Structure 1
């Protein structure tokens, strides 16, 4: 977990919403709230992942993330009809609140803690050298919990999101590439 001074235990570091048009949603967020800029990562493809106990392939989605104080705002657009935690709670053509994320250095312990309390993963897999899982807590709290394993690649990305927001003028480049072209 990212430690927060004076806050014991796990904490939410991200609030995520499903959208139908990610660039339009970014512009609406900036115009309405002043939160930004959004770092956009188009067409993230997870070749193989576990969906509710069976291996499936071909999840294609885009994300855009901005920092607002100590919390990230993540916008997610799924481009395909593959089964996913996203479509489990937000139907195609709809948008809305989807999950809270916890970034943790004790991924196994956090994962086991949810499973021990009777919550099962809707999706789990790995991407870029780190593991993630969407734990289906929707019946208990109205949304999923995403667990994200701490990693240097993910930590660097999260730091760039926070740095972009620090001192942003609210106008310049409200949607920016999430990764330099050479890194994609």
Structure 2
């Protein structure tokens, strides 16, 4: 069987998370956006070395895919800055959930692609694989864990139940 993951997310790096979410909604009707501010990761690495990039995200569901907006909050070198300069908006990655994280990561590493960033988000492993020279963007591999399934389910449920009230477009998470 050939390797063919299901893309579940398309992500852009943006200079201002809230402004970008409002533009996305005004242009496409997508919403609401669930916002996670200044995310804390465990054992984060950038190109194999310890790193601590500060960033926030806003995620909305559109059909079977998510739109993720990422705002880097500092000036550190990062997988985000590798492809999108500070102050700019640009496409960054597609993401998929890996049933076998190690095998899926090896699929890319064995082809010579470098892991730009990786670490833990709670109990879930993640990696940004730098496929930008080949595809024009990175690929994020997300380990299949109940916590990430619950979060993605909450994003979908929020979209399904949303009454399109612009006052509830931005939903800050704890």
* The two structures share one fold, judged by TM-score above 0.5: yes
**Contact 1:130-1:149 at 8 Å conserved across structures:** yes
**Contact 1:40-1:65 at 8 Å conserved across structures:** yes
SS class of match (1:170): coil
Q: 2:92 aligns with which of 83, 98, 101?
A: 98
Match of 1:29 in 2: 24
Q: 2:4 aligns with which of 2, 9, 14?
A: 9
**Contact 1:45-1:59 at 8 Å conserved across structures:** no
Q: 1:40 aligns with which of 35, 38, 58?
A: 35
CA positional deviation for 1:52: 1.1
Q: 2:170 aligns with which of 163, 168, 175?
A: 175
CA positional deviation for 1:48: 3.9
Q: CA RMSD in A?
A: 1.4
Structure 1 distance, partners of 2:45, 2:35, is 25
CA positional deviation for 1:104: 1.3
Q: 1:144 aligns with which of 98, 114, 138?
A: 138
Match of 1:73 in 2: 67
Segments of structure 2 that go 5 or more residues without pairing to the other structure are none
Segments of structure 1 that go 5 or more residues without pairing to the other structure are 1-7
* 1:99-144 deviation per Cα after TM superposition (whole angstroms, max 9, x unaligned): 1001112111100000111111011111111101000000101000
Q: 2:111 aligns with which of 111, 114, 117?
A: 117
**Contact 2:42-2:120 at 8 Å conserved across structures:** no
**Contact 1:136-1:144 at 8 Å conserved across structures:** yes
**Contact 2:42-2:121 at 8 Å conserved across structures:** no
Q: 1:53 aligns with which of 48, 54, 60?
A: 48
* Cα distance change, pair 83–47 in 1 and its aligned pair in 2 (3 A): farther
Match of 1:4 in 2: none
**Contact 1:46-1:59 at 8 Å conserved across structures:** no
Q: How many residues align?
A: 171
- Normalised by the size of structure 1, how large is the TM-score? 0.88
CA positional deviation for 1:47: 5.7
**Contact 1:47-1:59 at 8 Å conserved across structures:** no
Structure 1 distance, partners of 2:117, 2:4, is 24
